[in-house]
Amino acid sequence: MNILLTAAGSHGDVAPYTGLGTRLRAAGHQVTLATHDSHAPLVRAAGLGFRSLPGDPGATPAPGADRDAPGTPTTRRALMRRAATFVAHLGTGLADAVTPDTELLLLSTTTAPLGWHVAEALDIPTVGAYLVPTAPTRAFSPVLSGGRRLGGWGNRAAGRLSLRVVDRLHTDAARALRTRLGLSPATPGTVRRRTETANWPVLHGFSELVVPRPTDWRPGLDITGYWWPHLAPDAQLPPAVEDFLAAGPPPVSIGFGSMAAADAERLGCVAVRALRRAGLRGLLLSGNAGLTAAASPADDVLTVPTPVPHALLFPRVAAAVHHCGAGTSAAALRAGIPSVPVPFTADQPFWAARLAALGAATAALPVTTLTRAASPDDAVTRLAAALTEATTAPNLRTRARAAAHHLTTEDGPTTALNALTRLTP
């Protein structure tokens, strides 16, 4: 089949689809991934076709664009305004990216509410390919609820409310998109109810070890196992990282991926001081947070300015301090190393709680406990204690390794391929 995968967001929101896409391509399908231009090299390196989607989070804002000054609190209204603008542009991009010769459209969590309209207009079959659970359930509260426990009834009610919020956010974009596509008027809520009534199939690219399938989910919602990002056979760590790893005991990796920090200098300083107080070597993965040890260069800490594959780095470190994005959390489990969760926002508290429930992570340290502590020394004390626990507590290491062993028994891309074979003619 001619398959179009669609995904929007940061690196972690897109990279797993390269692993799924390469498995589909190996089975003989023609696979294209529609996403933002900043991810084009990632997509093409996996041997997949690429189509551009607007709203690139990695792009530099245009002069005069609506953005807050660094350190300025962002209001809920501002966030909703930005999200609505992103959704409107994304809808236009999806309409351009999906061509009539597409035989199967795979929709991510972000692209599904708009992709349903495009698929309806072009009469193309669709399947969900989600990296986070979104269906309401008594088992847990919505992933964007900050990890709060609301009880069975409360969890499910909050899940339904979260979907209504998503639908409301898409109202204007859906109206414009349906008009452009020549479709009769229908609200996002109406279209969602249609898909749910038809038991629209959704494949979830994470492990049941981490999120067991809720017993109250409807038919058609399946969990396949993780879709590991494509890694070139000849991929290597940078020479400076290799030299650092060889120069002493396994260090701790500290990095927050695509998350930006309002006070990167303070966060980097806290990280370095905490490492030294715990008597550990460290790798600072700069990422969007701009972490650096430049202010206090020494042989025990190395700043890594460019992205490195977690699949190569994590198996060689003692523990990982990270923001608990879905992909980074999975990579730490796959490597069998303990995590120190420092969630920033969105679904990160959810995954932090999941790692802790598995016994593979310390208690979460929300980023504000490090950047807004009463004094920098308070933040250093908290992080140093978590680092010591992560690198010395035998139960954390044992459970992390047990999780890694379990994940070797799963093959998410092949399970997804087999499911798609059953679901499509």
Q: Which two tokens stand for residue 199?
A: 């038991």
In eight-state DSSP terms, residue 143 is T
pLDDT for the residue 296: 54
pLDDT for the residue 62: 37
**Burial class of residue 252 (count of CB atoms within 10 Å of its CB; 0-12, 13-18, 19+):** buried
DSSP strand pairing (126-130 vs 202-204): parallel
pLDDT for the residue 366: 94
What is the value of pTM for the model shown? 0.94
Q: What share of the chain is helix, strand, coil (3-state, %, to 5)?
A: 45, 10, 40
Terminal alpha carbon distance of the chain:
10
51 pairs with which residues across the strands? 34
pLDDT for the residue 297: 56
pLDDT for the residue 71: 37
Give every strand in the sheet of 104-107, ordered side by side: 49-52, 30-35, 2-6, 104-107, 126-130, 202-204, 221-223
pLDDT for the residue 69: 36
C-alpha span between 118 and 41 (Å, rounded): 26
User: What sign for the dihedral angle of Cα 229, 43, 326, 361?
Assistant: positive
pLDDT tens by residue, the chain, 425 residues: 999 999 999 999 999 999 999 999 999 999 999 999 999 999 999 999 999 999 887 654 433 333 343 333 345 566 667 788 889 889 999 999 999 999 999 999 999 999 999 999 999 999 999 999 999 999 999 998 877 888 999 999 999 999 999 999 999 999 999 999 999 999 999 999 999 999 999 999 999 999 999 999 999 999 999 999 999 999 999 999 999 999 999 999 999 988 877 778 888 999 999 999 999 999 999 987 788 875 555 789 999 998 999 999 999 999 999 999 999 999 999 999 999 999 998 899 999 999 999 999 999 999 999 988 878 899 999 999 999 999 999 999 999 999 999 999 999 999 999 999 999 87
**Burial class of residue 393 (count of CB atoms within 10 Å of its CB; 0-12, 13-18, 19+):** middle
Residues 6+ apart with CB under 8 A from 240: 302, 304
Provide Rg for the chain, Cα atoms. 22
pLDDT for the residue 59: 59
In eight-state DSSP terms, residue 322 is E
Written as one letter, the residue type at 106 is L
User: Alpha-carbon dihedral of residues 14, 18, 24, 27, nearest 10 degrees?
Assistant: 180
CB neighbours of residue 99 within 10 Å: 12
Q: What is the full DSSP assignment across 62-131?
A: PTT---PPTTPPPPHHHHHHHHHHHHHHHHHHHHHH--TT--EEEE-TTTHHHHHHHHHHHT--EEEEES
Residues 6+ apart with CB under 8 A from 57: 9, 10, 36, 38, 258
C-alpha span between 131 and 11 (Å, rounded): 13
pLDDT for the residue 65: 36
pLDDT for the residue 114: 97
- Give the tens place of pLDDT for each residue, 107-150: 999 999 999 999 999 999 999 999 999 999 999 999 988 778 88
C-alpha span between 124 and 346 (Å, rounded): 31
